[in-house]
Amino acid sequence: MIAVDTNLLVRILIDDPGQPEQVAIARNIARKAKHVLVPQIVMIELVWVLQSAYKFDKDAMIAVLEHLLHNSAFELQAEDRLFEALGLFKNNSCGFSDCMIAVDSQAADCTLVTFDKKLSRLAGVKLAI
């Protein structure tokens, strides 16, 4: 098994016409490894990169995240929390990273305090007033 950073994971997942050599190298590395660990921070960065650089909308992001969750070639760090954060992301207007922060806070048995009004609507999150 290997672990990947965001750059490599993007090249594995996205057929970027501007980076065909990197796409081929990344996919070959993943194929040879057969099993890829994706650290939790890489998942958060992945969403940011795909939204900002590749202009993925929310539905496209959900499809990518679900693909990673259901593909046995990928082992996701804190998979249960990622799954829970994905559920929040699907059903709320919060960004994926905010959903992940809320889920991680709950897992640590903490109330998340924020100035973000959208985020404060989630269970276990309190608006700082």
My answer on whether 41 and 100 are in the same domain is no
Q: Is 88 part of a structural domain of the chain?
A: no
My answer on whether 72 and 119 are in the same domain is no
Q: Is 112 part of a structural domain of the chain?
A: yes
Average pLDDT rounded to a whole number, residues 64-91: 96
| Backbone torsions φ then ψ of 112, nearest 5 degrees | -85, 130
pLDDT recorded at residue 89 = 97
- Domain residue limits at 20: 2-77
pLDDT digits (tens, 9 = 90+) for 84-93: 999 999 999 9
Q: Is 14 part of a structural domain of the chain?
A: yes
Q: How many CB atoms within 10 Å of residue 40?
A: 16
pLDDT digits (tens, 9 = 90+) for 94-112: 999 999 999 999 999 999 9
Does residue 73 register a pLDDT over 90? yes
My answer on whether 36 and 68 are in the same domain is yes
Q: Are 30 and 10 in contact (CB under 8 A)?
A: no
**pTM of structure:** 0.91
Q: Is 87 part of a structural domain of the chain?
A: no
pLDDT recorded at residue 81 = 97
Tally of structural domains, the chain: 2
pLDDT recorded at residue 129 = 87
At residue 25's C-alpha, the angle toward residues 21 and 28, to 5°, is: 140
Q: How far apart are the C-alpha atoms of 121 and 123, rounded to whole Å?
A: 7
pLDDT digits (tens, 9 = 90+) for 14-65: 999 999 999 999 999 999 999 999 999 999 999 999 999 999 999 999 999 9
pLDDT recorded at residue 62 = 97
For residue 75, the SS3 value is strand
My answer on whether 10 and 69 are in the same domain is yes
